[in-house]
Every structure is written in C-alpha cells, then in structure tokens.
Chain A
Amino acid sequence: MPFIQNTDADRAEMLAAVGVRSIDELFEQIPAGLRVEQPIDVPEGISENELWAELNELASWNSTAEKGSFLGAGLYRHYIPTVVDSLQGRHEFVTAYTPYQPEASQGTLVAFFEFQSMVAELCGMEVANASMYDGCSAVAEAVLMSTSITRKRKRVVMSAGLHPHSRRTVRTYLGATDLEIIVAPLGADGRTDFDGLIDDQTTAVVVQSPNFYGVIEDQEAVAAAAKDAGAISIASVYPIALGLLKSPGEAGFDIVVGDGQSLGVPTAMGGPSFGIFATRNEYVRKMPGRIVGQTVDGKGRRGFALTFQTREQHIRREKATSNICTNNALMALRGAIYMAAAGPEGLREVAEHCMAKAQYAADAISALDGFELPYAASGFFNEFVVRCPAPAKLVNRAVDAAGMIGGLVISDHVEGIDERDLLIAFTELTTREQIDLLVKTLSSISQTVSVG
C-alpha cells in the first residue's frame, strides 16, 4: 500500500493544475546531480505477518526485564495484579476527562476518596490529595506549599540524596522566586548531613528516604531539626517501602510526597506515573491539587464531591494553592486498585520480598574481590550502590551480555560521582537465578580486573 494515496489520475490532475506535463518537469529546477536517478536500495515491502515475525526475532536478541533487571533509581518493576488492568480499562474510567461533576461521577469520586484514604494511611498522615503528576512535581509542589505556610523565609534546604530529577524540578519551580536553595551534602555513610544548615530562615527541609543512593535516612532527626527551626519538613518516599518502614507521619514530617508508579503502574520506559501527596489536617487549605470530600446530598444520602475548589487556579487565579492542572487520574486509579488489592498485608509481603532479595544480593556481592558497598552499613531497603573494580558502564555491558538489564551508572546523572558506582535495585520480580547470574557476571569482572 503506497504511503501517499493518490491515484495516477489524481497526480495527472494536480500536475495539470500547476501547469506541468510530468513529475520530472515539476522537479526540473533541482540540479540533475542532486536528483536520485536509481531506485533507493531498500527491501521490497513484506506482509504484516512476516514483519511481526522479523521484529520478534530481532527483539529476542535484546536484554529484557523478564530475563532480569537491576535498574531502579526511582521507578521500580513490581508485579501488577490482573485486576488493576481489568478494572482500570473499564470504559467508565478510560473515556472520561476530568470526570468530577458529582451528579455524574460518583464512581470516580468514590475511587479517589478511597485513594486519598489509603495514601494517607500509608504515609501516616491525616489527609491526602487525589494525586499529582509524578513524584518530582509532588516534591516541588510541597516546597511551594511550605512557602505559603512559613511566609517570608528565605531558604529551602534539600538533601543531595533527593532524586536528581526532583532537585531539578524544585529548581524549575523556584526559578522565578527569591528563594535560595541550599543542597545539604551526603556524609561518608550516605546519609544527608544537615548540620548547621537549618535555621530560622529555612522554609522547608526536604529529604528522601530511602534516598537516591538507597540509604535509609534518619527521618526522626530530620523532622525534629526542621520543627525546632519552625520549618516545614518534607519527606519523599517510595510507597512500597512503607509496607515495612516506619511511616514518615510517625517520624514527624509535615508533608509526605512520592512517586506512585510502584503501586500498579508499569515502568513503561519512564511514564506516565502519578504522585502522592499527604499532609496534616492543619495544612489542608494550603494543599495543591484535587481533593475529594465526603458529603451528603439534598436528601441526606452519603456522596462525594471535589472540595476546596475555591483555592484552585480556575477560581483563585494567581493566588491559587498551585497551578497544577491535572493529577494523572487514570494512573492514580491504578494505584487505588493496587493498594486495595494488596492491602496492608500484601504491601508488607511485597516489601519483605524486595528487602530479602536485596539483602541476599548484597551479601553475595560484598564477598566478591574488588566490590564494595560503601553505604550498606547505614541500612538499605531494596537498592544500594556498588563500587565496582571497573567503570560501572563496563560492568553494565557485561550484565547486558548475560541477557539482563544492569543498574544505573550514577555518574551519568549526578556530577562528581565516582564512575565506578553502580546503583542496583531488586524487587519481588527479581529471581534468585537472576541474582546468582548477576553475581557470577560481577565475579568474572573481578577476576578479569585482578588478572589485569
């Protein structure tokens, strides 16, 4: 089938309309030496069936996540129960845009009310919104929100362990303000060193735990230091880890944010995702985004409606809590279904598997000659940094040759990082065989390097 679907008759008509006799005459002004005279050397067309066979053959050469993937760094490959796809794909959900009219959308509103309740419970907070774009924008929105609570303070202190994309998003959001951003460095143990950086001019203190390098931060200490200075404390979390770790609410944080991808959304080459956002009741009127509330209708029956809309941009314009325009509702719906399907017990089980597999790998890798786990002593969840005896890029090539996807070469994303540092992650989908193959691959590198 030709890509340009005009017939010979169509073409003759068009040529006649512009007053030339042939295609060659039409292109006459292009110098002869620049015109392609020979047919272009590409294969003849093949049928769709043959094409699929050929593409599948080519694809089978790839290293794939199914064969093993150790890439995390913010997005994590978790098992997605079938119920997530099957419910999310219902036409009532997928065909509606901004389906928030209470008279027509009780189903969607109930789903988001449940979503908010589960996010709040997971984070140990009192209230959550009906999601944000993703984890990075949720962090930045939290920083903005802190400025409207503390007023007139000058500085935001964020951890160097915050995901580099989150740090960039905060810089973008604050670019047009007078706020100064201070990055608190990581200590030798991989935890953030906030010492001497938080004072009475600090608007917000932002920390991620586990941080970008996989290290579990001392959350209580960070929240307490912020509180002492009258600053807002913000924790960025990995929701799956909350199946096991103490909630940031218990640790004393004011705002909890995170990327929701791990809750039922495929990694899908980076998106779409959704963000979670939870806080304390006292700050609910400062919270950005959509919030679903429970109410009663004219006959006293329980129902749901968006609330605090008076603070959103379509009403409050430049004084709105935020200029965020959507909440990736369909992805958040997947999160709601995932959380409901897993339940607290299920989340705990997933988290235990992740942690156990990472621990199994850490024990094996740290026993290899030349490989170090520089921050492991500080505690990790499902991800950690390996300092390899060779550049991390080369290590990844060896993992690829074994058919698997390696970790993140950190120095490609963060300046000043040792090029030998590789960030590797494990989930319940990582098998023991895959970890053993990874360790075997690393071990061969270790021997190559020591032999020279």
Chain B
Amino acid sequence: MRPDDRKYLSSHEWIKIDGDIGIIGITDFAVQELCSGNESDLVYCDLPEAGRTVDTGETFGEIESVKAVADLNAPLGGEVIEVNAAIEDHLEILADDPWERGWLIKVKLSAKTSDDLIDAAAYEALIAQEA
C-alpha cells in the first residue's frame, strides 16, 4: 500500500499537503516504469528554479531514463519555494526513497484542490490495471 497521507495523479506524481505548502514527488511505480528495476538507467532530472509559478496540471520539469523522457506534472499549482538540490546528482534517491528523501519541489499552494487528485486506494487500483 502506498502512503495514504497524500494524494496522487494518474500520471504518477504525488503531493503531500502541509498547511499552504505542497510537497511534490513521483511514485515508486513511476521510477520502476522508467528504469525497469535498474536504477542506474535514470540519467537526468530537470527541475524548475525556485520562484517560478506553476499551474495545476502544468509540466514543471522532466525526468529521463536511457529509454524514455517523462514530464513531471504539478498536482496543484503555486509558487515553487524550494527544490530538492540533491536529486540532480543523486538520482538513486528516487529509487531508494521516493516518498520522503526523494521529494522534488515544494510549492506555496495557490490552488487547494483539483478533480484530478486521487487517494492512495484509487491510485493502487489504477496501477493494478496498468501493471
């Protein structure tokens, strides 16, 4: 079971809301799909600079493996206030701990909700279909 303290997008991002701050990352399933279990296949992650505003659903960056490039989409919009600087040089963090140490950006939320957000149970059901 994936953590139920947060919401998910069907495109495999998660957001954990703490007051007016949203912490955004990608799921273990996303990492698995990108690198097929070989974490060294992740080669690049492009994240925005702090200060940039992203809209709900907007692409804020991209992650690249040797076989594919995937967009990173914002579950909720707002101003990017912090970026996980460790990720760029240590992509293995995403495979080791996508839920805590593998967060990507923190956003000061301007949107509080979105119809596209689903809970952990719904996300589980979704990936059960995809797998």
Is B29 interfacial (CB-CB < 8 Å)? no
- Please state if A319 and B68 are interface contacts (CB–CB under 8 Å): no
B69 within 8 A of A: yes
**A310 contacts B71, C-beta separation under 8 Å:** no
Those of B33-91 within 8 Å (CB) of chain A:
44, 46, 64-69, 71
Q: Is A311 an interface residue (CB 8 A)?
A: yes
Residues of chain A within 8 A (CB-CB) of B71 are 319
Chain B residues positioned under 8 Å from A311 (CB to CB): 64, 69
Give the distance in Å from the alpha carbon of A316 to the alpha carbon of B67 in the complex.
Answer: 10
Residue among A285, A310, A315 with most chain B CB within 10 A = A310
Of the candidates B44, B46, B68, the one whose C-beta lies within 8 Å of that of A315 is: B68
Q: How far is the CA of A319 from the CA of B64 in the complex (A)?
A: 13
B43 to chain A, nearest CB (A): 9
Q: Mark A14-28, 1 if CB is under 8 A from B, else 0.
A: 000000000000000
Annotate B3-46 by CB proximity to A: 1 below 8 A, 0 otherwise. Answer: 00000000000000000000000000000000000000000101
User: In the complex the two chains form, what is the Cα distance from A30 to B90 in whole Å?
Assistant: 82
Q: Collect the chain B residues with CB atoms within 8 Å of residue A315's CB.
A: 68-69
Q: B66 near A310 (CB under 8 angstroms)? A: yes
CB distance from A259 to the nearest CB of B (A): 30
Q: Does B68 lie within 8 Å of A285, measured CB to CB?
A: no
Q: Are B66 and A285 in contact (CB under 8 A)?
A: no
Q: Give residues 274-322 of A contacting B (CB, 8 Å).
A: 285, 310-311, 315-316, 319
Chain A nearest CB: distance from B64 CB in Å?
Answer: 6
Chain B residues with CB below 8 A from A319, complex form: 69, 71
Cβ A285 vs Cβ B46 within 8 A: yes
Cβ distance B47 to chain A, nearest Cβ, rounded Å:
13
In the complex, A285 Cα to B43 Cα: how many Å? 12
Nearest to B52 among chain A residues (CB) is A151
Fill in one digit per residue for A44-88: 1 if any B CB lies within 8 Å of its CB, else 0. 000000000000000000000000000000000000000000000
Least CB separation from B44: chain A residue: A285
Determine the distance from Cα of A30 to Cα of B57 in the docked complex, in whole angstroms: 69
Smallest beta-carbon distance B61→chain A, Å: 11
Q: Which of B65, B66, B68, B69 has the most CB of A within 10 A?
A: B69
Taking CB atoms, residues of chain A closer than 8 Å to B64 are: 285, 310-311
Give complex CA distance A404, B67 in Å: 56
Least CB separation from A320: chain B residue = B69
Residues of B within 8 A of A310 (CB): 64-69
Residues of A close to B44: CB separation below 8 A = 285
Residues from chain B with a CB closer than 8 A to the CB of A316 are 69
Docked Cα-Cα span, A363 to B12, in Å, equals: 69
For the complex formed, measure the closest distance between the CB of B122 and the CB atoms of chain A, giving whole angstroms: 26
Residues of A contacting B46 with CB < 8 Å?
A: 285
Residues 411-441 (chain A) with a chain B CB within 8 angstroms: none
Chain A, Cβ-Cβ closest to B69: A310
Nearest residue, chain A, Cβ from B59: A319
* CA of A319 to CA of B62, assembled, Å: 11
- The smallest C-beta distance from A298 to any residue of chain B, in angstroms, reads 15
In the assembled complex, the CB of B35 is this many whole angstroms from the nearest CB of chain A, namely: 12
Nearest-neighbor residue (CB-CB) of B66 within chain A: A310
Bound state CA distance, A285 and B46, in angstroms?
10
Chain B's closest residue to A312 (CB) is: B69
Some 6 contacts from A to B, beta carbons below 8 A apart, are A285-B46, A310-B66, A310-B67, A310-B68, A315-B68, A315-B69
- Interfacial residues, chain A to chain B (CB-CB below 8 A): 285, 310-311, 315-316, 319
- Closest 7 pairs between A and B when the two form their complex, measured CB to CB: A310-B69, A310-B68, A316-B69, A311-B69, A310-B64, A310-B67, A315-B68
Contacts A310-B65, A311-B64 given; 10 further ones with Cβ under 8 A? A285-B44, A310-B64, A310-B66, A310-B67, A310-B69, A315-B68, A315-B69, A316-B69, A319-B69, A319-B71
